[in-house]
Amino acid sequence: MLLRGDVSDIGVTCQAFRECQARPYAGDPMREIEVTVGHPEGLHARPAARFVQTARRFRSRIWVLYNGREADAKSLLSLLVLGVEQGAVITIRAEGEDAEQSLEALKEVAIGQ
């Protein structure tokens, strides 16, 4: 399943996502940013679809963390299940060759620009 509340599926026990240093594969370093969602609809319907379309332009693996849960940023259903509302603070994580660019692009979408 794309939505996870913990990281036990990769065989690692972590107290919190930020403390977890394990990755399911070796690659470029993971980067992350925190963003306050500015769109009046939050990440629902059209804004969520735009977020997913933007994420899919990049080769990096990208996740959204909210309320202790993690979603694949390239899956609309996974993102919608998080229930992110306007004003919520989300963490966007990316790992891969274009991680930095993906985070910048997704930040713009999340804040509603």
| Pairing label, strands 89-95, 61-66 | antiparallel
What are 33's strand-pairing partners?
92
Contact, 49 vs 76, CB < 8 A? Answer: yes
H/E element, 45 = helix 45-55
Residues acting as catalytic residues: 44
Alpha-carbon distances of 34 from 11, 24, 29, 37, 48, rounded to whole Å? 26, 22, 17, 10, 17
Which tokens go with 23?
Answer: 């990755």
